[in-house]
Structure formats: structure tokens, C-alpha cells
Chains A and B, each alone.
Chain A
């Protein structure tokens, strides 16, 4: 038996390979698109992973701290520690902001981490350089995506922080690099107003006769001081003792502490189901469009390759070649084209992924699905060409 498809490919391999590479670039874009979606989901997952928490305790009735703003008093964690099964509870603040750098600024999520040691919920779980924060103020661990290096100084509000450690893949759910700073600094950064506002507030309070009373010296100062302090955090991260059921502990917190509590699956559902739902649908649309475009292009390529051979096909039919043989030839060529395209696409996608500003995660399952999708699309796309080839009249070879 002779492989007509193989021989044809061998005959015109240059054209074939280059067409395959072209198709491969398109498939690469499709794979990257899927990778962008996976990257978004992964951003959410690493956010949860990196927090090291089993439970998230947030302001009652909110979807905080990632999907909604949430604010609770920073002494609530002490009460949580009394609930059975809870190993650790740590305050945390999250604030997405522009961080000053020597050359302009960079968008980052500032995470305020509770004092303690590595392993405390909220702390970066691993570093790629430097060390964890040891001073209780004015030190920062930054993600390498922010562009900071060890020893750099970054400006958050009015204070300068020295970068002592670097992380990788510590990002917010929207892909902004994280910067970890001590909790007290972060509380200040989040809730402390700028100096002008402070002055104006002081003057406002001073102008209020109820607060500025000559017969009560010190009242004004006390009121000003109380206005300028903050005892709020965004959430309490809770780590359970090994073997403790998360739902049970979460229920206890909801019931006795009257705070909204999320477990890991609930948090994932919020991040993936609510925060990136529209983006995911958007990417889904793009994937469908790209699949259709790929299918159309494969169909067109195979169609024109077949059109080039219409005379030969007529001759083959005239001299008695079976339809199956001819259809197999076209189908095999289409699949071979898809195969080359997939290989090229996978390679392109892998090499292109690191250059995207947001994280692109290529997972093997997607590649496998993509592979079969490509084959299916190529198979389907070849049907048009096969149909046309089968309709060729062998009499055309005789002419006249």
C-alpha cells in the first residue's frame, strides 16, 4: 500500500511545512489564550495558597477581602484564637496602590503581615532571594514582577521601605505583584490620611466649639489623636490545627463571633466564580472565535491544496482509485497539517508565554484537549475538500 498523502507532502514539503508553521502560530495564539485564562485562575489560586490560610474571617456580610472591601477591628483575632481547632490567627491588610520607585511608580498589592515568624498566615511562603522581614517596621518583601531588587527603597505613603526579600508568583487576583510590609505600617498606609488632610481635619475639629473647650484642656488633643489612629484590618487569616474540619470551625466563628467566614473552596468560588467570571467568558468567546478562525483557515488551506490536485484526483478516479483512498489522502494531509501546527503552536506558546505582562499558565491538560481539538477541527475542515474531491467527475480527465 502506498501513502498518497505522505508522498504528496514529501513532494511539496516546503509549502506544507510553512503552511503548518503559519497554522501553528494561530494555534499558539489559541493556546496562549487558554493559558491567559488558566493564568487568571492560577493568580486567584496562588493568592489563596500564598496566604497560607484555611479560613478567611472578614467583615460581616462582605465578600472580602479580595473581592470586596472588608474592615474589622484588629483585636478580633484574639477572640478567634479561643475557638477550638484554630492553630493560628493573624491579621492581614490588602491594599492595591501605586508604589513609588526611583523611576516612576508601579502598581502593586501591599500586604500587611502580622508580626511573627515565617509560616504565620499571610507571610510569603517562599522566597527567591534575600530574607523574610525581621524588623517590625519599614522593611518590605517584594515580588520580582514589581521590578524591585534587594536593597532598593520603595515609597508607600510617607514612609520608605527597604526591600529585604524577593518572591515570585506572589500576585493579587488581578495579577498585580505583591509587596509585603509589616502590619502596623500597612494599617497606617491604608487608613492614615495625607498630611494636608490631617491638618485640615485638625483645624475643623479646632473650629468646633464642642471639641475645643477652654475649660477642658487636652480635650482637643485627645480628639485629634483618636481621629488619627486606626485599629482596623481587612481580614483575619486563620490556620487550623491539622485534621480539623474547616466547615466546623467556620460555622463556630460565624455563630459565636458573628463574622463572615469563608473556607478555601468558598474563597475559590468567590475569586473564580465572581471576580474573574466576565474575563473568563470574554476569553471563552475569544477561544471560540479562534477555534472557528483556525477551522476556517485549515478548511481553506486543505481546500486549496485539493483544488491544486483536482486534475490528479480526476485521473485517479478514472483509473479506478477508490473514493476511500482519495478521502484518506485528503484527511491524512489535513491531520498532518494539524499535527505540525500543534507542535509549532505548543512550542511558540511556551516560548512566548513568559513575555506576556500577565501570567500565562500552559497546563498539559489544555495541550491534550487542544491537540484533540486541532485534530477534530482539521478532520472536520477536510470534509469540505473531501466532498469536493468526491464530486469530481472522472470524465474531466478525458476532457473535451
Chain B
């Protein structure tokens, strides 16, 4: 925990100005260590999405402080010049729908990021293959996303989120479209990956099937987070 992972202190987000201002986030405090998978749950309108967007550096928080590893990335203002590079290099995304690029096959979907940043294609594909093998979808690397099952797509999406070895992965309802067996499988993978790559994973969900698997849960209600110990049920 010593300065690694992600730490959020007093993060707030206000939409609008003056009388019509809405405080979507009031007081968010979170800390996720490398290798840890935490749940972020809350009812609709509680500020989950806003928090996710703030963490993903796609909207600007109004105040507070975010530290990624040793680097303060936000302290009442972004401390990083290139947010897109920050997203690319430091944050992995896994979405509710996998949002794979439909015109690229599985391996290129995963290898896309490093290829775009100048890594030779072969090397990027080798890395991708490694990840896909770890996720047990190596047999589908030449398939197009539309040919995959939901679980396979989600695994490919996870692989894509992991390809740049980001310190943080933000997963938005990763199990929503899946049945419980597959949902459990996804959670198992996320946990394995977190351990394997020393990644801090925040899973935003309200999927009752997987909530019991978290060891630690952040509840968010009216823009305020409350930390809570989860059941930590075994996934095996």
C-alpha cells in the first residue's frame, strides 16, 4: 500500500453553476492497492458513473486529490498534461458491453494500443497472445468480435484493458450481460489478473451475483463513499 495503487481523497464534482448547480460527487475517499479488487456499488444516480469518468480522466473533477502510484495526477486540477496518454498508459478499461473494435480480429483488438504507440506489430501481437493465453481465449485469436460469445468477448476486453500493464483497471459492470457461471469466471479472471500483474482493479457493479466475492466494497450514496468489508467469498 505504500504509495502504490490508487488513492482518492476528498474528490468532488459539481455540474453547473450558481443556483442550478448539482453536486454529483461530494466526498469520495478511496484507496485500492495493487493486486486488489474492490467493488464500487450504489443505486442509480448515486454518482457511480461520474466517479468512474473522473477516475478515467474523461471529465474534470471539481476538487480533491488523486494519486496514481507515486504520482499525484489531480490536486484541484490535473497535474498531468496529456490525459489521453495517461489513460493509455496508466488506466485500463473494461466495459459493461465489451466494445471491441468490430473490424479488427481478436488479437489485433488486444494488440491495438501498443501497435498505435509504435510497438512493432509482431511484438504487440506476441504480448497480446500471452494475455489471451492467460485468459484462455488463445484459440479464438483470428476470430472477429462478432463471432465470439459474450464471455469470450468480455475476456478479450479484459485482455485489452491489461495490454499496457496499467496500474489501475476500471471495470464498469463487466458481468452485467453474463449468467452467474460466466460472471463468476470473469471475476475469477479479474482477481487472477490483479494478482498476476499487480494491478488495482475497481469494479463498478450492482450485480448481486458478484457482490459477495469482494473483500472490500465502497458504497456510494448521494456522492459520498462509505467503505465496508465484503464477504470475500471464494471464487474457486
Question: CB atoms of A and B under 8 A apart anywhere in the complex?
Answer: yes
Which A residues contact B (CB, under 8 angstroms)? 1-2, 4, 7-8, 10-12, 311-312, 315-322, 325, 393-395, 397-400
Chain A interface mostly: helix
Contacting pair B53 A2 (CB below 8 A): no
Contacting pair B56 A398 (CB below 8 A): yes
Complex contacts, A11 vs chain B, CB 8 Å:
102-104, 144
Chain A residue nearest to B82 in the complex (CB) = A320
- When A and B form their complex, which 7 residue pairs have the shortest distance between CB atoms, in order from nearest? A320-B88, A11-B103, A400-B49, A395-B58, A8-B103, A2-B115, A320-B87
Interface residues of B in 81-97 (CB under 8 A from A): 84-89, 93, 95-96
Please give the distance in Å from A322's CB to the nearest CB on chain B: 7
**Among candidates B96, B99, B115, residue contacting A315 with C-beta atoms closer than 8 Å:** B99
Chain B residue nearest to A316 in the complex (CB) = B101
Cα A29 to Cα B160 with chains together (Å): 47
Complex contacts, B101 vs chain A, CB 8 Å:
312, 315-316
Which B residues contact A (CB, under 8 angstroms)? 48-49, 52-53, 56, 58-59, 84-89, 93, 95-96, 99, 101-104, 108, 111-113, 115-116, 118, 121, 144, 160, 172
**Among candidates A8, A322, A395, residue contacting B116 with C-beta atoms closer than 8 Å:** A322
Cα A321 to Cα B56 with chains together (Å): 14
Contacting pair A1 B95 (CB below 8 A): no
Contacting pair B48 A400 (CB below 8 A): yes
Chain B residue nearest to A317 in the complex (CB) = B84
Contacting pair A398 B116 (CB below 8 A): no
List 28 A-B pairs, Cβ < 8 Å. A1-B115, A2-B108, A2-B116, A7-B103, A11-B103, A11-B104, A311-B99, A312-B99, A312-B102, A315-B99, A318-B87, A319-B87, A320-B84, A320-B86, A320-B113, A321-B88, A321-B116, A322-B84, A325-B116, A394-B87, A395-B53, A395-B56, A395-B59, A397-B99, A398-B172, A399-B49, A399-B172, A400-B172
Complex contacts, B144 vs chain A, CB 8 Å:
11
Cα A399 to Cα B176 with chains together (Å): 14
**Among candidates B89, B93, B103, B118, residue contacting A1 with C-beta atoms closer than 8 Å:** B118
- Known A-B contacts: A1-B115, A320-B113. Give 6 more (CB < 8 A): A1-B116, A11-B103, A318-B87, A319-B88, A393-B58, A395-B56
Chain B residue nearest to A325 in the complex (CB) = B116
Complex contacts, A400 vs chain B, CB 8 Å:
48-49, 52, 172
Contacting pair A318 B93 (CB below 8 A): yes
Please give the distance in Å from A78's CB to the nearest CB on chain B: 81
Cα A1 to Cα B96 with chains together (Å): 28
Complex contacts, A321 vs chain B, CB 8 Å:
84, 88, 112-113, 116
Complex contacts, B96 vs chain A, CB 8 Å:
399
Please give the distance in Å from A319's CB to the nearest CB on chain B: 6
Complex contacts, A394 vs chain B, CB 8 Å:
56, 58, 87
Cα A399 to Cα B58 with chains together (Å): 12
Please give the distance in Å from A312's CB to the nearest CB on chain B: 5
Please give the distance in Å from A77's CB to the nearest CB on chain B: 75
Cα A286 to Cα B156 with chains together (Å): 52
Chain A residue nearest to B53 in the complex (CB) = A395
Complex contacts, A12 vs chain B, CB 8 Å:
103
Cα A394 to Cα B53 with chains together (Å): 9
Complex contacts, B111 vs chain A, CB 8 Å:
2
Contacting pair A319 B160 (CB below 8 A): yes
Please give the distance in Å from B84's CB to the nearest CB on chain A: 5
Chain B residue nearest to A321 in the complex (CB) = B116
Chain B residue nearest to A394 in the complex (CB) = B58
Chain B residue nearest to A393 in the complex (CB) = B58
Please give the distance in Å from B99's CB to the nearest CB on chain A: 5
* With known contacts A2-B116, A7-B103, A319-B160, A398–B87 Cβ distance under 8 A: no
Cα A189 to Cα B87 with chains together (Å): 88
Complex contacts, A399 vs chain B, CB 8 Å:
49, 95-96, 172
Contacting pair B95 A397 (CB below 8 A): yes
Complex contacts, A315 vs chain B, CB 8 Å:
95, 99, 101
